[in-house]
Amino acid sequence: MNFFPVVDPEQRSATECYDMIGELSELAEELGYEHVQTVEHYFSPYGGYCPDPVTLLTALAARTSRIRIVTGAVIPAFTHPVKLAGKLAMLDHISHGRLDVGFGRGFLPTEFTAFDVPMEESRARFAEGVEACRRLWSEEELVWEGEFHSFGPVTLLPRPYQRPHPPIFIASATSPESCAAAGRAGHNLQVVPSVTSTEQLQGMLAAYREAWAEAGHAPGVYRIQVKYTCYVAERHSEALESGERWERNYVEHMARSVAPLASGAGADYPGYEKFAEKAAAYDFPTSLKANKVLAGDSAAVTDQISAIRDALGTDIDLSLQFSPGALEQDRAVTAMRLFAQDVMPKFRQDR
């Protein structure tokens, strides 16, 4: 389960959004879903209801007992590593070791401006933040001398519940190089297929798997999360109607958030300057046919997942958004139940 709140305050209040996420997370645990996760964004309806994933996930951890709790992702460039590592270690304890930590580079110019962080430093800050957190979790009396932070000797408290540390995921949107770096480091991977072609995504995953193997890590123990929005309904046409409405809502809000990239902000993000163009040209039937979004009755969604597994491999995990935009909660509940009842069993033998 993936919660990415792309919603206007006029459509749904923050309180209503958090209450719904809590209720859907409890249902996800009841129905046998593997994890719940959320993002870090600021200011705009494009995810801005979740400026601190740790706060929201702590509430979800308190309402559940089995399901894993995932950041998808936190942005190290915006938080001192001592602060970030400490918050995540606390959540690892509060969840009794159910935490997976996804780290992201960040890509919205308005966010970097607000934090007074140059976008051209984002890659270096990301790499330094991930490694500093890993070492804070793993080592005692750590002395850190980085490009952006220096501290120590310090021993982080609390030490993580999971030893040596929670599983680390690296979020990558379009870069095979970032995927390969994650594989070499022995980290897991999070990707979003909506902004890449199938061929691009295949190249990214191939780079990851090859780098993992070449680095000598144990075969097949990595985890690859691929994130989709998923609309399931008893009537196929109803799912398509919802999908077209709320995918357009997502694309329009994303386009406004990334608009500064088109004028040269974020030069170190090749291809991102075309996000606005892609949004303007968005077509739901084309996206559906390319399996960038899952939508339909249970049989249609099952067929889509089979096709995705044929294209991307059977070693991927899906992270599904059932509550996009201001979709009515009862529709999200119906979709979750139908997916658990009709779709999950078709693939369970592979797990």
Q: What is the mean pLDDT of the chain?
A: 94
Q: Is the pLDDT of residue 280 over 80?
A: no
Average pLDDT over residues 15-34: 98
**What percentage of the chain reaches a pLDDT higher than 90?**
87
For the stretch 133-152, pLDDT in tens is 999 999 999 999 999 999 99
Q: What is the pTM of this model?
A: 0.94
Give the pLDDT score at 268: 65
- Beta-bridged to residue 87, according to DSSP, are none
For the stretch 316-341, pLDDT in tens is 999 999 999 999 999 999 999 999 99
Average pLDDT over residues 125-136: 98
Look at 239-248, 267-276, 279-288 and tell me which has the smallest mean pLDDT: 267-276
Give the pLDDT score at 216: 97
Q: Is the pLDDT of residue 276 over 80?
A: no
Please write down the HEC assignment for all residues of the chain.
Answer: CEECCECCCCCCCHHHHHHHHHHHHHHHHHHCCCEEEECCCCCCCECCCCCCHHHHHHHHHHHCCCCEEEEEEECHHHCCHHHHHHHHHHHHHHCCCCEEEEECCCCCHHHHHHCCCCHHHHHHHHHHHHHHHHHHHHCCCEEEECCCCEEEEECCCCCCCCCCCCCEEEEECCCHHHHHHHHHHCCEEEECHHHCCHHHHHHHHHHHHHHHHHCCCCCCCCCEEEEEEEEECCCHHHHHHHHHHHHHHHHHHHHHHHHHHHHCCCCCCCCHHHHHHHHHCCCHHHHHHCCCCEEECHHHHHHHHHHHHHHHCCCEEEEEECCCCCCCHHHHHHHHHHHHHHHHHHHHHHC
Q: Do the beta carbons of residue 2 and residue 37 sit within 8 Å?
A: yes
Dmax (CA) of the chain: 61
